Chain A
Amino acid sequence: MRVPSLQSMIDLYGLSMELTLEAQRFQIQVEELKRLALNSEVLAVRSGTQGEVFQTIAREIGRLSAQVTEVITALIKSVQSVGDKAIHSAATARLCERYKSALDRGIEGKTLTDVQDRYNDIGNGMVQDLDAIYHALIEASKTLQDISRLQVQLPMIATLLNIEANRDVNTDQAVGANAKHLLQLKQNLSELLELVIEKTSRTLTFLSNLFSSTH
């Protein structure tokens, strides 16, 4: 086994930070969806007995909001785990690099075995960290697929909202605005999803190359 270099671990840390920062932007979209769910519930109650269909749609937005919140929480947990392991690995790589440098300087006697053992122990720990990062990234990829599946429901709900808006003159403007916000939210989620998928994929490719070079 070859121990990954300090530079490669710093690069991995940089990639993981980019991924974390982008993934955290999903929180803003979650908050927006929660706000729309609450707004729709209020409008549905205001519509009274005439708004039964609207109440059903509002409940659907609420259900979707809860599901999106859950998967995005899971995504952020996964990418934070990637970041935590990556920073730990970068710090460990620094120690490893110092021990390697000491070995290159020519350690003598029993100390040689001690330094070699320490270097190997830390190197093995780093490889375990990389393995954990890999699994966290795979988890993140699965969660991104869940987000992708959920977000396609947003335009359908927006269409239903528009239909309801045309039936109820009292709330038509507010409901229409909610439908418009939902479509905008779908657009924002799609763009962000594309970006985070690309960052996850880049980090996974980097990690795969790192695995190849260390074995």
Chain B
Amino acid sequence: MKKKVLFEQGDYKWIMYGRDPEKSHYVIDTNEYMILTEDGATLMDPGGTEVFPPVVAAISKDVHVGKVHSFICSHQDPDIMSSLPLWMGLCPKAKIYMSWVWTGFVAHFGHEYAPNFVAVPDEGISIRISKNLEPIQLIPAHYCHSSGNFSVYDPNSKILFSGDIGGAILPNDHVQLLVENFDQHIQYMEGFHKRWMPSNKAKLAWIKRVRALKPNLICPQHGSVFSGENVNKFLNWLEALDVGSAITA
């Protein structure tokens, strides 16, 4: 599994894991992100059961999993969080943040961990992940694509984890973890956004929020990370894109 340190300042790091070469061709490729601080680790969209073995193996090289104190799930899809029962077997005290919309549904993966759920209200919340850092923020991204959906913004590193927004379905031989040529990258994300994102209104509300934050990186759960000028290129491209294509089916 590939790994990239996206930000590093002493013990405080943002690490991306993805592109497992041994994954089954039946499952969509996913990126998992970890924020590591001196006070423990936070995993964002920990992934599905299929990718749990490579993800836990990769993460074990950076941190003892017992240090994971928080899981943040952008939404409820199986590729986002079906591995939670496996993770909770290893870090049973960790909190699981997700939209209040999904807690009752996600409990179907294993209700024994439901007491660890933190039901995030629609307006989002701030989470202090380390005593020496500004809290990270769960930013509303509802209907992009899920009805209860959040992005995660870290004001310390100015990194935005965007969940499925910005996602791309890349060919197997695609190696770059960061978008290098935005125009070429469009082909991998255009169909995904047109079909998976249901609402232009919701999309525009999210773009407005994100523009105000001025992130340095936008990190999606599928595909490659947007950095530098590609952040604005992506926001502009998404703004102009007409989504909800299946409405005319």
Say which one of A106-114, A150-158, A164-172 lies at the interface with B: A106-114
- B-facing mask of A120-137, CB < 8 A → 1, else 0? 001000000000000000
> Is A211 at the interface (CB under 8 A from chain B)?
no
Asked if B64 and A115 sit within 8 Å, CB to CB, the answer is no
- Report whether B53 and A110 are in contact in the complex, using a CB–CB cutoff of 8 Å: no
Within the complex, what minimum Cβ distance (angstroms) separates A78 from chain B?
A: 27
Of the residues A101, A107, A118, A122, contact of B60 by C-beta under 8 Å: A107
Q: Mark B79-114, 1 if CB is under 8 A from A, else 0.
A: 000010110011000000000000000000000000
Residues of A within 8 A of B63 (CB): 111
Q: Is B128 an interface residue (CB 8 A)?
A: no
**Which residue among B52, B56, B59, B63 has the maximum number of chain A CB atoms within 10 Å of its CB?**
B56
- Nearest-Cβ distance from residue B148 to partner chain A, whole angstroms: 26
Size class of the A contact interface (CB-based, 8 Å): 10 to 19
Chain A contact residues, majority secondary structure: helix
Contact A111–B54 (Cβ < 8 Å):
no
Q: Which residue of B lies closest to A105 (CB)?
A: B57
Known: A95-B85, A109-B60. A114 touches B90 (CB 8 A): yes
Kindly provide the distance from the CB of A112 to the nearest chain B CB, expressed in whole angstroms: 7
Q: Given A95-B86, A98-B86, A99-B86, A110–B52 Cβ distance below 8 Å?
A: no
Q: Size band of the B side of the interface?
A: 10 to 19
B65 within 8 A of A: yes
Tell me if B232 counts as interface (CB < 8 A to partner A): no
Q: In the complex, what residues of B have CB within 8 A of residue A95's CB? A: 85-86, 89
Q: In the complex, what's the smallest C-beta–C-beta distance from B92 to chain A, in angstroms?
A: 10
How far apart are B30's CB and chain A's nearest CB, in angstroms? 15
Complex Cα distance, B60 from A107, in Å, reads 6
CB contacts under 8 Å to B, within A88-111, are: 94-95, 98-99, 101-102, 104-111
Q: Are A111 and B64 in contact (CB under 8 A)?
A: yes
B60 touches A98 (CB 8 A): no
**Which has the most chain B C-beta neighbours within 10 Å: A95, A104, A105, A114?**
A105
Q: Given A109-B64, A111-B66, A112-B60, verify A102-B53 contact (CB < 8 Å).
A: yes
A27 CB to closest chain B CB (Å) equals: 31
Chain B nearest CB from A140 CB (Å) reads 30
CA distance A107 to B89 in the complex (A): 15
B131 within 8 A of A: no
Flag if A111 contacts B86 (CB, 8 Å): no
In the complex, whether B137 has a CB less than 8 A from a CB of chain A is no
Question: Which residues of A lie under 8 Å from residue B61 when comparing CB positions?
Answer: 108-109
- On whether the beta carbons of B60 and A111 are closer than 8 Å, the reply is yes
B116 is an interface residue with CB less than 8 A from chain A:
no
- 26 A-B pairs within 8 Å (CB atoms) are namely A95-B85, A95-B86, A95-B89, A98-B53, A98-B83, A98-B86, A99-B86, A102-B54, A102-B57, A105-B54, A105-B56, A107-B56, A107-B60, A108-B61, A109-B60, A109-B61, A111-B56, A111-B60, A111-B65, A111-B90, A114-B64, A114-B90, A115-B90, A118-B89, A118-B90, A122-B89
Closest 9 CB pairs of A and B: A105-B57, A111-B60, A101-B53, A102-B53, A110-B64, A111-B65, A107-B60, A108-B60, A102-B56
Q: A102-B56, A111-B90, A115-B90 are in contact. List 13 more A-B contacts (CB 8 A).
A: A94-B49, A95-B86, A99-B86, A99-B89, A101-B52, A102-B54, A105-B54, A108-B61, A109-B61, A111-B65, A114-B64, A115-B60, A122-B89
